[in-house]
Amino acid sequence: MLDSQTAKGLIKPHMPVVCSNNGQFAVVDHLEGRDFIKLAKDATGQHHYIPLAWVTSVDDKVHVDRPGTQAMRDWTTSPTARS
């Protein structure tokens, strides 16, 4: 698992966000506060947030620790403490 401070330094706007199965399910809009990634709007025009705690690695993509379907069930529409 990547610590959140390191992840914050590596994550940039417009990076693809990929699930544990390596499928892209979102794109980074920007970092929000100390602990969240705000995702670009989805097809319905809604922003979603995921916690930095989900991030396992960052290369040319942001990799998270769960399958895309689970990530989309667990993401939120506002930055909260949920992880």
Residue 62 is part of a domain; what is its CATH number? 2.30.30.240
pLDDT at 83: 47
Q: Can you tell me the distance from the alpha carbon of 45 to that of 49, in angstroms, rounded to the nearest whole number?
A: 14
Structural domain span for residue 8? 4-74
In a domain, 80, yes or no: no
Q: Which residue carries 């690695």 as its tokens? A: 57
In a domain, 48, yes or no: yes
- Give pLDDT tens digits for 48-64: 999 999 999 999 999 99
Tokens found for residue 56: 């396992």
Q: What percent of the chain lies above the pLDDT cut of 90?
A: 82
In a domain, 82, yes or no: no
The better pLDDT of the pair 52, 5 is held by: 52
Domains contained in the chain, number? 1
pLDDT at 82: 53
Closest residue by Cα to residue 56 from 29, 21, 81: 21
The better pLDDT of the pair 1, 51 is held by: 51
